[in-house]
Amino acid sequence: MDAGSRLDQFISRYAPEVADDGRRALKILARKFPTATKIVYDNYNALAVGFSASDRGGDAILSIALYPRYVSLFLLQGASLKDPSKLFNSSLDGNVRRAIDIHKGEEIDAKAFKALVQAAVALNTSGGKNTKRK
């Protein structure tokens, strides 16, 4: 079984609405980051897929996590980003990460979302903590 089929098998364990939201989010990010390495973690409370510049999880810029009732986009250095549209949930993950939860087909402000992702990429490619190591 190839990696894509295996990931789809993991996703299919979730409720159809959550699986659909997760697949949609992963498809968007795969188009945005076609050369990123996808790092998959299937653990007891979530399925997470990190998008990284290498095969190291610490190099990931963002990740998608599927939970039983919703999907989250984590910006792994999100605490450093401005969020004027208030898409982030809160200081959910302390001083570093921030998340945007997507509940059952919920649409979010695409322009604000795109701006946050672009800012996260810029932060991580301009000397931020998660830049690709040589």
Q: What is the pLDDT of residues 37-60, one digit of tens each?
A: 999 988 888 999 999 888 887 788
pLDDT exceeds 60 at position 23 = yes
Q: Residue 132: inside a domain, yes or no? A: no
Q: Answer for the pair 33, 106: CB distance below 8 angstroms, yes or no.
A: no
Q: Which residue has the higher pLDDT, 14 or 96?
A: 14
**Residue 95: Cβ-neighbour burial (10 angstroms; 0-12, 13-18, 19+):** exposed
pLDDT average, residue stretch 96-112: 74
Domain at 38, CATH number: 3.90.1150.200
Q: Which residue has the higher pLDDT, 106 or 57?
A: 57
Which residues span the domain enclosing 57? 3-125
User: Residue 47: beta bridge partners?
Assistant: 42, 66
Q: Residue 134: inside a domain, yes or no? A: no
pLDDT exceeds 60 at position 27 = yes
Lowest pLDDT segment from 52-66, 84-98, 118-132: 118-132
pLDDT average, residue stretch 7-32: 91
Q: Residue 36: inside a domain, yes or no? A: yes
Per-chain mean pLDDT for the chain: 81
How many domains does the chain fold into? 1
